[in-house]
Structure formats: structure tokens, C-alpha cells
């Protein structure tokens, strides 16, 4: 990836976005500043801002004009994380303690609301009313995805279609919006806007599938959170859905999935049943299919250099192991 | 109030806003629709939309143009209520069970986020970037107010200045914005925008002070929630701050305030000490002063009919008993 000058430039843009963000989340309330910075400094892949900066460049916008939007997208993502931690009772994320673990539910909830409000403030800088509208639409869908996740928890009967519905809302829509907004801000032609939106959608789907695979296969120290943490909470992801149909012990797996207070032993047994069923290989294949669909959209991107950079990001999404 | 044709018209506008809102909060997710409608149908005074509609009329905007904004303001208020219930462990509000009591923390949190996202969608309809900016600014300050409330809980040392800081952020700023936005949407002259913003600010301060008085003096059936519920949670309001300095048993009151697990007996004792100290009369006097300041701003409103309607609303805020 290092050979592409555009990706290097994007790295510089991301640093600038991080600088902006770390200053921007300072609040009059020391507690809000501290909690927000704690979350921010825990790191993250910053893929939403990366996509926004890159898509902006593909459409001829300079990075500076995209910075507030890139920061806003990261803030929306951060807000969703801190709110998830409230309701999921998560105590570690990205290897360090969560805001909830350190400051409790009340502070976490208001920190999430604060980050959302700050993102709105950044978004209100843009002239195009489409910018706020796209982000609002995605935010609505993200909530619907979260609620769907609650409604389908511990349910072994859910289908791959249910899963796709959920991860589209939970992840792909915001990544798609990140890609699309570069085109919107630059008033790019509709065909370019559509191609970037679709590229982002397919990549976002692949990103979440890989995330769900890694949740079962990575090491705790790479994940920064306990292995199988989704499974523990009853969130049924693609590998589990596959294994529930193809494992040699579907009955055992199904009863563990249904059980709302699984023991550690049951969780470990379930994870090995899932791995033995071929579910991991299957899920990687599905992710690859989405990556290929994403890459096909790149034919609508005018410059080869831009195409290559976006293809590199797609490869990164497919091959990441953390 | 019934004699003023503008207030009658506002009543019709509020009905239209309620119709819009009840359709608008319908979601693809039945659970989100149900939880949002439950909150909406519990009622409320709808004062933020009322102020927005009225201020719009004062500046010559027709009610229809203000409707989405009026609905957005109510949604932001509803979102803050449902999020408060999550962290405050409240089980009744406005006389019926809270979303939290009925569906639990996860659904409440995401319902709040959903209502915020829906409000953003309504706001994005307005051309003036000021609209989103004002609302984002207020939302940031609201979070800072909530955090301040957490930081000062159970602290008998806090001052009236601390209290004013908090209720400004918690309540007055959104009411002020509701009044101001009518002027913004109609591109009214700055002097009118400022007068409406200040009118809303003073009225919002009075509104919250009266709310805090009623929390201690009203009947549970009028309040729709237990008497003294703020006091129970350690939220120190104006009457308590006054009584902590003027009660004949300040020591007793102070130790109850500090106690994080107050018994019902202690709560009742504290409430009677507060009432006996003259704190209620004092607080009403402070509220009246804000009402008078609000009314003074009305000299900048061009039409007498509009002045009268806004003065009536100020009287309502001062005299309400529920």
C-alpha cells in the first residue's frame, strides 16, 4: 500500500483529522473531555474518515474541505461504540477499559450524546443540505439495525438475510455514506456518487463479516476484547448461522445458542463446533464476494491512481487479521 | 388565554405537529415504533413546539413551514427524557410506565438515539445552515448540563450559580432556541431574533424553577411521578439550596442531602424542612423575576397581538401547577 502516493496523502489527512478531533472534543466539562479523549485515544482503524478523505480526493475535493466531515463520521462511530458499551455491559474495548467501566453508565450515555451533538456541529458547516440528510438517514437505519440485533438475539432460527439486513444497518451504511459524501461535497456527477456509495456498501458488508470472523478466531490481545464476545451476548453472526445448518452437532450448538446464560465451557464448545463446521472458510468466501463486487464499482472512477488506492483499501479490509 | 386568536391558532398548529410527529416516528422496526409512540402518547406540555410555532408567527412565517422544526424540537426533548430514564432508573413518567420499565435499557437507549436521528432528518429540510448549528450547539450544552448534574449530585456545597448553570443547559437553552428559530427560519432582523432568544431563555429558567418547586410540592397524581424524585436522586434544586442556608435544621438537612441511600422517612423529613424554611416562596419569587425579564423582551415584538400571546405563555409558565 505504501507505494501509492494517494494513500500516503490519506495517511497525512488522517493525522490532521485526528488532531482536529482531539481538540474538537474538548468540552467545558472536564469529565466529558476526559471520557471522550479516553475513547478517542483507545485508537481504532479510522476507516470511515479514511474513506471520506479518499472519496473526496477521487472527486477533486481537497482534504481540508473534507476534514470536518471525516471527523464527524468518526464521532458518530465513536458515539455508537460508547452507547453499545452501555447496553452490552462491555468492560474492555481495543484492549483498554471502556468509558462505562471507568465512569459508569450515566457518563457513558451522555458522552455518546455529546459526541453525536459535536458531529452535528461539524456537519452543519456544509452548505449542501444533502450532507446532513444522508447522515441522518444512516443514523436512523443504524438504530433500526441495533434494535433488530436485540430482537434476534439468541435466536437460532434467523437467516443469512436477517444477518445481512442487520450488518448493512450496523456497519455498511455508514461506510457507504463515508464514501458517498466525498462526491456530495464536491457536487460530483451522479454516476460517480453512486459508484462510491456502492463500493462503500460492499466493502462495509465485507468489513463486518471479517469482524465477525475475527471475533471467533483472533487472539484476545489482537482483538482487544474477549474472544467470542458477540456469541456470549447472543449476537448470531454469519459463521454461527452457517454452523447451525452444517455442523455435525447442530442440536448441541442450537441449544447453546438458545441458552441465555451460557457457561464458559459451553461457549468454548460452541466456538469449536463453529470452526469445525467449515463456517470460517465459508464466511471468508462470502466476504471475498463482497470485496469483488466493491472492486467492480471502481470502473466508474476516472483516474487509475484513485482506482488503485481504493482497491488497496478493499484488500486491506479482506486481509486484516485484527 | 382563549381570547387570543393567535393562541387558538397555535393550538391548531400543535395538533398538526402532533399528527406529523405520530406518523413520522413510525419505523420499519415495530419495536422502535411502539416504544416511540408509547413515549409520545404519554403526552407532555409540548412547550418547545408551541414556542417555535408562536415565534415563527411573530416573524411572519406560516405554521406549515415551522411544523418540521417544531416536531424536531419535541423529538430532541423526548430523546433527552428517554435517555434520562435509562440512567436515572425511573419507572414512571407522566403517570405511565417509562420505556425503560416496559422494554428495558437497550431499547430505551436506541429509542433515544432513533428520535435524535429522526429530528436531524427533519432539521436537514431547512435551507438555513444556522438552524442545524443552533440545535447542535444546544445539544452539546445539554450534555454538559447533564454531566454537571451528575458531578454535583448529593453535594450540599453547590451554589445558586451552579444551579443556574445547570438549568440553563438542561432546559432554558432548548426553549430559547425554540423561540429563536422562528426568527432564523424567517430571516427576521437580528433585534427580533435576539429578543425572542432572550424571552425564551428567561422563560426557560422560570419553567425549570417552577418544575423544581412542583417536584417538592405537587401531588403524585398531578406530577405523574413520585414527589421529591429529584431529591431522591441527589439532584439539588433551588428550594433545597435555599433551605440548606436558611432552614432551622441545616445540619440535619445537609446530612440527608449527602446520604446516597436516603430512607423514605429521611426524604419526607427533608421535604418538610425545605418547605418550612420559606424555600418555596423564595423560589417562586426567583421564578417571577425571570418571568418579568422575559416579558420585558416583548417590547421588541412589533405587533401587540403577538406580544399578548407571548405574555400569556409566560403567565402560564409562572402559574402552572402540574
pLDDT digits (tens, 9 = 90+) for A60-98: 888 889 999 999 999 999 999 899 888 776 777 767 788
- Chain A residues with at least one Cβ partner in B under 8 Å: 27-29, 31-32, 83, 86-87, 105-107, 109-114, 116-118, 120-121, 123-127, 129, 132-133, 135-137, 139-140, 142-144, 146-148, 150-151
Q: What is the pLDDT of residue A178?
A: 96
Best mutation target among A75, A80, A117 (most B Cβ atoms within 10 Å) is A117
Residue pairs between chains A and B whose CB atoms are closer than 8 Å: 137
| Single pTM value for the model | 0.90
User: Which pLDDT value is given to residue A161?
Assistant: 96
pLDDT given for residue B7 in this prediction? 81
Segment B122-142 shows an average pLDDT of 93
The reported pLDDT for the residue numbered B227 is 83
Contact B206, B174 (CB under 8 A): no
Q: What is the pLDDT of residue B10?
A: 84
Distance between alpha carbon B287 and the CA centroid of its chain, in Å? 14
* Residue in B closest to A33 by C-alpha: B144
B138-188: pLDDT as tens digits: 999 999 999 999 889 999 999 999 999 999 999 999 999 999 999 999 999
Q: What is the pLDDT of residue A218?
A: 83
Chain A nearest-CA residue for B86: A106
Q: Which of B27, B109, B135 sits opposite A109 (nearest CB)?
A: B109
Confidence of residue A322 (pLDDT cuts 50, 70, 90): low
Q: Which residue of B has its CA nearest to A113?
A: B143
Question: Would you call B118 and A140 a contact, using CB atoms and an 8 Å cutoff?
Answer: yes
What pLDDT is recorded for position B277? 97
Rounded to an integer, the average pLDDT of A280-284 is 97
Element (H, E) at A231: helix A229-232
**Confidence band (pLDDT; 50, 70, 90) for B85?**
confident
Q: Nearest CA of chain A to the CA of B183: how many Å? A: 18
Is the torsion defined by CA of B97, B101, B103, B109 positive or negative? positive
Close Cβ partners of A268 (under 8 Å, ≥ 6 residues apart):
none
CA dihedral A59, A76, A215, A179 (to 10 degrees): -10
Residue A142: list chain B partners with CB under 8 A: 113, 117
Residues A218-227 have a mean pLDDT of 73
Q: Write the DSSP assignment of B252-299 as a string of letters.
A: HHHHHHH-SS--HHHHHHHHHHHHHTTHHHHHHHHHHHHHHHHHHGGG
B127 closest CB neighbour out of A29, A117, A129: A129
From B82's Cα to the closest Cα of chain A, the distance in A is 11
Q: CA–CA distance from A157 to each of A229, A254, A276, A291 (Å)? A: 20, 9, 20, 27
Least reliable range by pLDDT among A91-95, A277-281, B21-25, B296-300: A91-95
Which site among A100, A127, A132, A148 would you substitute to test the B interface, given the most B Cβ atoms closer than 10 Å to its Cβ? A132
Per-residue pLDDT for A108 more than 50? yes
* Chain A, nearest residue to B100 by Cα: A87
Q: What number is the average pLDDT over the span B192-198?
A: 97
Candidates A93, A74, A75; CA nearest to A84 is A93
Q: How far is CA B39 from the centre of its chain?
A: 15
Q: Would you state the cell numbers that stand for residue A167, as one nine-digit string?
A: 450488518
Q: What is the pLDDT of residues A234-276, one digit of tens each?
A: 999 999 999 999 999 999 999 999 999 999 999 999 999 999 9
CB B149 within 8 A of CB B70: no
B142 contacts in chain A (CB < 8 Å): 113, 117
The overall average pLDDT reported for chain A is 91
Interface test with B, best of A136, A149, A152, A165 (most B CBs within 10 A): A136
**Residue among B83, B111, B121 whose CB faces A113 most closely:** B83
The domains of chain A, with CATH numbers, are 5-319 (1.10.600.10)
Rg, C-alpha atoms of chain B:
20
Please state, for a pLDDT cut of 90, what percent of chain B lies above it: 72
Provide the 3-class DSSP secondary structure of residue A93. strand
pLDDT band at B3 (very low <50, low <70, confident <90, very high): low
pLDDT surpassing 70 at residue A204: yes
Inform me whether the pLDDT recorded for A221 exceeds 80: no
Computed on alpha carbons and rounded to an integer, the radius of gyration of chain A in Å comes to 20
**What is the reported pLDDT for A207?**
96
The pLDDT, as a whole number, for residue B86 is: 80
Which residues of chain A neighbour B148 with C-beta distances below 8 Å? 29
Is residue B1 scored above 70 in pLDDT?
A: no
| B124:A121 CB<8 A | no
Amino acid at each position: 500500500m505504501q507505494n501509492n502516493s494517494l494513500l500516503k496523502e490519506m495517511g497525512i489527512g488522517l493525522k490532521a483529522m485526528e488532531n482536529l478531533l482531539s481538540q474538537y472534543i474538548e468540552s467545558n466539562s472536564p469529565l466529558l473531555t476526559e471520557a471522550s479523549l479516553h475513547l478517542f485515544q483507545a485508537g481504532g482503524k479510522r476507516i470511515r474518515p479514511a474513506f471520506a478523505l479518499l472519496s473526496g480526493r477521487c472527486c477533486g475535493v481537497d482534504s481540508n474541505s473534507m476534514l470536518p466531515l471525516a471527523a464527524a463520521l468518526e464521532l458518530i462511530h465513536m458515539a455508537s461504540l460508547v452507547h453499545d458499551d452501555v447496553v452490552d455491559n462491555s468492560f474492555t474495548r481495543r484492549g483498554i477499559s471502556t468509558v462505562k467501566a471507568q465512569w459508569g453508565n450515566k457518563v457513558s450515555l451522555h458522552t455518546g450524546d455529546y459526541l453525536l451533538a459535536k458531529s452535528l456541529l461539524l456537519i452543519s458547516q456544509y452548505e449542501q443540505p444533502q450532507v446532513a440528510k444522508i447522515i441522518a438517514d444512516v443514523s436512523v437505519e443504524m438504530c433500526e439495525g441495533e434494535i433488530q440485533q436485540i430482537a434476534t438475539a439468541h435466536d437460532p432460527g434467523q437467516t443469512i438475510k436477517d444477518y445481512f439486513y442487520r450488518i448493512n444497518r450496523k456497519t455498511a451504511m455508514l461506510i457507504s455514506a463515508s464514501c458517498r459524501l466525498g462526491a456530495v461535497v464536491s457536487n460530483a456527477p451522479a454516476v460517480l456518487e453512486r459508484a462510491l456509495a456502492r463500493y462503500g456498501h460492499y466493502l462495509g458488508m465485507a468489513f463486518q463479516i471479517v469482524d465477525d470472523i475475527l471475533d471467533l478466531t483472533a487472539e484476545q490481545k489482537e482483538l482487544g476484547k474477549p474472544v467470542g464476545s458477540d456469541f456470549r451476548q447472543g449476537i448470531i453472526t454469519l459463521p454461527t448461522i452457517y454452523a447451525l445448518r452444517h455442523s455435525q452437532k447442530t442440536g448441541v450448538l442450537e441449544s447453546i445458542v438458545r441458552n441465555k446464560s451460557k457457561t464458559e465451557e459451553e461457549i468454548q464448545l460452541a466456538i469449536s463446533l463453529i470452526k469445525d463446521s467449515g463456517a470460517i472458510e465459508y464466511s471468508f468466501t462470502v466476504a471475498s464476494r463482497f470485496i469483488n463486487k466493491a472492486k467492480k464499482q471502481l470502473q466508474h472512477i476516472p483516474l487509475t491512481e484513485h482506482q488503485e488506492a481504493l482497491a488497496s483499501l478493499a484488500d486491506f479490509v479482506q486481509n486484516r487479521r485484527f
